[in-house]
Chain A
Amino acid sequence: MQNDQLALAQTRGSVDPRVKRPLPAWVSTTALLLPTYGWLTLAVFLPLLTMLAFSFMSATPMGKTPVEFTLKQYRAFIDQPYLLRIGFNSLMMGFWTTLFCAILGFLAAVALVRATVGKTREALLVLILLPFWTNGLVRVFSWTMVLRENGFLDNLLHMVAPDAGSISILYTRYAVVLGLVHGYLPYMILTCYIALVTIDDAIIEAAASLGARWWTILYKILIPMAAPGLISGAVLIFIPVIGSFMEPRILGGRVGVTMGTVIEDQFTQAFNWPLGASLSFTLLAVVLAIFATFSGILRRGTAG
């Protein structure tokens, strides 16, 4: 150290003559990562493991009933056949929502790419995505204003046809799907847009100059190009939709019974946590299976 100081003094002088040795890289890397992953462990990973354990219990271990380990919670689908029907309804709700989002969103992405440029396109994208980042609950609530009896839609109809009867599609499955499509459409537009924006105009012009009709361009160029976006959009919509509970509750009323609302009930009304846990885990298994199937496409589709 003495030497260090002398030699460096001849030049400009060391920055700090007592230069400390740096910590080994792994120490600082660990220190940087530990808070985040510690937090995620506490808030996400341990809870999921605990829920897994709960799903094998015979009763909520908070009451007086003795608790045993059992598989009966997972037999609920056999013991209570109505759960199967609800599960099927949830899947159908996911299917229709995803399908409508795919059609509307794909066309919107095509329109964005083909019919707009520059600042207009940027502004439209921001406008389309803006609702997506606002409160979902509030957006669902806003549909009740439109769909309810004597609501916006009803009044609009009566302006056109004063004699028509009152329409109210609030508290129907249509209302639920409508609300869900409204909520998730921006996602599909975004993923399809990312996939399509790379298409060179020249490809389409070349195809058109070769005599391709618009449907040929659609089937041979646009849909294949948008496929990764369509698939990742579909996965990212289907998954939250089959787990949704507040949209069916608010827009579906009594007909809006889904896996999501059944699970919610187990935790807030029935206090049957093990059943809720096993249903949650069944749902999670479906989610993971979907992710596993499409993981390759998802990675590419969302990379942009």
Chain B
Amino acid sequence: MKQIGRFYLIAILVFLYTPIIVMMAMGFNESPLYELPFTFSTRWYEALLANQPLLKAGANSIIIALTTAVIATTLGTMASVALSRRTFRGRSLLQILLLPPIAIPWLITGTAMLIFFYWSGIGRGMHALLIGHVALAIPYVVLVVGTGFKTVRADLEEAAMSLGSTPVHAFFSVTLPLLYPSILGAALFAFAVSLDQFVISYFLATPGYTTLPVQIYSAIRKGFTPEINAISTLLLLGSMAAILIFARFAKPGDTRDKR
């Protein structure tokens, strides 16, 4: 039975990774029409370097993702402090209100943002994308940092205050250093969420300001070229790296001494 189980798990992994590996491999194939036999070439990666719109979209994606990570982590951590450490009326309602950005299909959220931003004069473009991405990332930050809070005892802050710390000093000298792995993890998570975000970006991007996934989507719809494989490979490896680092940092219950 155990043999069958392991074999089945390997089959699942093959199913999950085959298309990804095939796609990556095709990015290194000489033929523009994906023709076999396979001839190794880096020409599509070289072509990327000359593809200005794609490079610009890539730069936009990274800038948006970094900015989103900074803003969402700051705001989300603040909210998490209140939601994890304070008791007040309406707290559970506020926690439920974090769910819509995660749970409602992005198509609905994205089209709603398009309507509202257009109608209210906010418009589309970089700032609109940023507003949308941060909103999607905040709930994840609150959840990840909130999990981190559970590993930091509340009486540590009280101990600091009894020794003369103001609440602000207690937070920065005691809680924050202990929470730091979770916060870093949340930031990486927010970065990955933004970097991979396509649906919302698709509705909020303008012809002059797009992100990598939007650019890839329109390229796919025009027809497949190995250049798409090349840029997709880079994007995939980027977000995999971010998630793996996240998994390393945000291990729940991790209170290793950081000194």
Contact = CB atoms under 8 A, between A and B. Distances in A.
Interface of A: 15, 22, 25-26, 28-29, 32-33, 35-37, 39-40, 42-48, 50-51, 54, 61-62, 104, 107-108, 110-112, 114-116, 124, 126-128, 130-131, 133-139, 141-146, 148, 150-152, 155, 182, 185-186, 189, 214, 239-240, 242-246, 249-250, 260, 263-264, 267-268, 273, 276-277, 280, 283-284, 287, 291
Interface of B: 1-6, 8-9, 12-13, 15-20, 22-23, 26, 34-36, 75-76, 78-79, 81-83, 86, 88, 94, 97-98, 100-101, 103-109, 111-120, 131-132, 134-135, 138, 142, 164, 166-167, 192, 195-196, 198-199, 203, 213, 216-217, 220-221, 224, 228-229, 232, 235-236, 239-240, 243-244, 247
A240 B16 CA distance: 19
Given A61-B119, A62-B118, A130-B240, 5 more contacts: A138-B216, A146-B19, A214-B1, A245-B107, A250-B221
A116 B116 CA distance: 50
A284 B243 CA distance: 30
Question: Interface majority SS on B: helix, strand, loop or mixed?
Answer: helix
A239 B34 contact: no
Contact of B111 (A51, A143, A150, A249): A51
Question: Interface majority SS on A: helix, strand, loop or mixed?
Answer: helix
A135 B239 contact: yes
Contact of A145 (B22, B109, B134): B22
A291 B103 contact: yes
Given A35-B78, A37-B97, A150 B15 contact: no
Contacts of B221: 249-250
Contacts of A143: 19
B20 A139 contact: yes
Nearest to B199: A246
Contact of A131 (B20, B142, B166, B216): B20
Contacts of B196: 133-136
Given A33-B94, A116-B6, A138 B112 contact: no
